[in-house]
A and B are shown apart, each in its own frame.
Chain A
């Protein structure tokens, strides 16, 4: 993108606008801003020399406010919260702000929208940009009214002379404005004491359209001449294409509307004029039948705990955190405890299977140069553009990716992969193609949150934890698209290798592996598991041909944090029990950050009123500081365990939450509730089942076609009551809230089961079978 392109689109139109450039990168980038600053000085007009595709723009016009942003709405309400931030600093009335977002031709490259970071990283910069615009408006008003700016007051979009009658509206100032500015990092900001908009529960801007069935999801995108595609996946993760049965091909060709079968390596798809014809053509009972050659078997599901710990499956071991001397301190502890935990492969399991539309032409458009246009629910339009470009063998500039909201993704799900499928099919048939994954495609082939195995050792002396060690064995938690075509499923199936596995698990696999507790001797070790055959025992680089040992894995809500916190918070409870210390007291005693202590203390009254325990009813606690750097969450869970059936019912959950300044309390509560519901489901129910070939849990519930256990999520009849204790810190940065709470759920629930029954369930999900097994032990 160049600024000139933006101009052509009528964004910087000269008179009648005030534009402020800013960056949504975590820190204001010195690399980018001087360009815009230079341009701003040279006649207040942005030109080619200022072109920088990492800048975002806040544009005020008399009739609307627009934000050109690379960040995308993921159904979490960030658009509304960002609007509140802007309106607050502008001293105007709450209004719907127009977002031009997630489009590789008109919005900046701001990286992936993920990890609960939109408000956290974008909020302060947007606030500065809005405050800069406000100062400019004050300057214009001072000129117009002929009074010094310190005599002016602004309220609800009107600037008046203090104590006088003379006033001017923003509309009238903007009608004659012609300003291009750069966000000023030293600009005066509205004082939190004066906030009128930030801190209020404004309703979600886009919700009425969704509820009235007017909203455009990516599934609703229709383009002229569009065909419908479906994919046919291999009979196993490592299976290889063998042949298309000729009789079945004849049968498929007879389907009214059938267009083509496309096969490239192990990638097979069908294209038809109607969606129904594509479905029929892809079904082995009515359409094409493919034979596949069996490949290397996956590691058996029932052996995952041992396989993850097997050094032969690991390519690297990293000490993530080391404090003091664990080896020296542990033997001296009065009480020593060891325990192991396991969490299974889990899915994003979006309620709407992935869908993408691609229009790949044989030649570039003569005006725009665009040859491939992709509509996708991706979290990062730029990375998808780069991957599609290499997948199709087209230059970067000729690929245009447009974001359209999909069903909630909760991380890196099939949204990018399906766009690759659509691109390949469109290129093959020279028509636009919409690919809708079936539920079985989604459950069967989405990149998963990987299984993890944890071994902990610790010691307690005089009610203090004196030694702590956590060893986690885990496949990668990040295989998002990059420029490599093998990072898309379609690329891997057509013979490209995926990116090398990471050398450092850092803030992905070992996220929240290290604890916030100030233990004197503490160590976290990450043992990195090879998902596929690599080029050597210590290599993370894929060996050709690609052969998976474990399911392809990636970022699922909070990444390794969910399972790491399950292990940490369960084990801390085990230490508390062994050392005879109250679990709340041990947490408070072990924390030295006052904000961390405050969220735990916020549960003290609830904790004091907990059920007695031991009779099938019990309560548990867990604490986590997200990424050990950001939002604090402490959770109380109350459970009922049926000793006959082994069914755990989570009755009540209380979350105390501190994410700094609260922009929109109801939006925050909603995010916490979402964390609780998914956290309960992932703790009690969710587990991917697979055999030596691939995933067998391909729908939501067992049925006659799928008689084995399927991938079930929380039902309405299983949801707990949820209470949120929100701790607002108006003088602190606003941190994200999309992921911090989920990691507290498995620990709190497991600890509650222990309180209720005296038994520990150390394997997720805590299914009736596992509970009964624990009760019998």
Chain B
């Protein structure tokens, strides 16, 4: 029988308590169905496309493969819904609009949240340069050491997304 679980999460800065009947329920469904988040999307359920990406305590996580029991009580969860506001969009959100870096935009959540976590981690580890095109594509293709997480865009906005990420990186570093 499944084990019920109640967890308190800090979602985009707000404390939210959720209860599930099965502690194996993936975070994605809790975010979308209990917490009304629209950013994280169901894309594959097997951690191969990135559409469900969120940040948990600053780390990029694929919420379709993150059972609630593995999320610490009090964890900070950031979704694209709370990444920026209309008055103050995140540099990546602004850059994606400026570059018109999407068609259907279903994959944008993954690419924006992945890039947000990745750029922040680069900055935190002391890298002060704007990533090169090859560095951005290696990240998005799961070809960096230590991660094989690929991000899929099916409409073909790749070149615009790469430009947008580099532009946002420049802003985030300045």
Contacts and interface: CB of A to CB of B under 8 A. Distances in A.
A interface bracket (residues with beta carbon within 8 Å of B):
35 or more
Interface in A705-748: 705, 713-719, 721-722
B38 A351 contact: no
Contacts of B44: 353, 439, 699-700
Interface stretch (B55-63, B100-108, B121-129): B100-108
Given A75-B155, A407-B154, A699-B48, A215 B38 contact: yes
A478 interface: no
A695 B37 CA distance: 33
Given A280-B22, A670-B103, A674-B157, A716 B109 contact: no
A683 interface: no
Contacts of A256: 2, 4, 21-22
Contacts, number: 182
B interface, how many residues as a size bin?
35 or more
Interface stretch (A173-181, A202-210, A445-453, A497-505): A202-210
Contact of A713 (B89, B137, B154): B154
A519 interface: no
A195 interface: no
A277 B21 contact: yes
A213 B38 contact: yes
Nearest to B158: A719
Given A212-B89, A701-B150, A703-B46, A352 B106 contact: yes
Interface string B84-125: 101001000100110010111111110010000000000000
Contacts of A292: none
A75 B102 CA distance: 9
A349 interface: yes
A207 B89 CA distance: 13
Interface string B144-163: 00000011111111111110
A491 B51 CA distance: 31
B174 interface: no
The binding surface of chain B is classed by DSSP as loop
A436 B42 CA distance: 9
Contacts of B80: 211-213
A254 B20 CA distance: 15
A211 B48 contact: no
Contact of B159 (A208, A213, A277, A673): A673
A210 B41 contact: no
B88 to A, nearest CB: 11
A722 B108 CA distance: 21
A353 B158 contact: no
A312 to B, nearest CB: 37
Interface string A662-687: 00001000100111111000000000
Contacts of B159: 673, 719, 721-722
Contact of A76 (B32, B37, B103, B106): B103
Contacts of A74: 104
A215 B102 CA distance: 13
Interface string B1-13: 1101000000000
Contact of B157 (A203, A673, A718): A673
A700 B47 CA distance: 10
B79 interface: yes
Interface string A51-93: 0000000000000000000000011110000000000000000
6 contacts: A211-B89, A212-B86, A353-B43, A700-B152, A703-B46, A716-B141
Closest 8 CB pairs of A and B: A75-B104, A677-B156, A674-B156, A407-B106, A408-B104, A256-B21, A210-B105, A213-B39
Given A352-B41, A436-B42, A718-B141, 6 more contacts: A257-B21, A353-B44, A674-B103, A674-B157, A677-B158, A716-B136
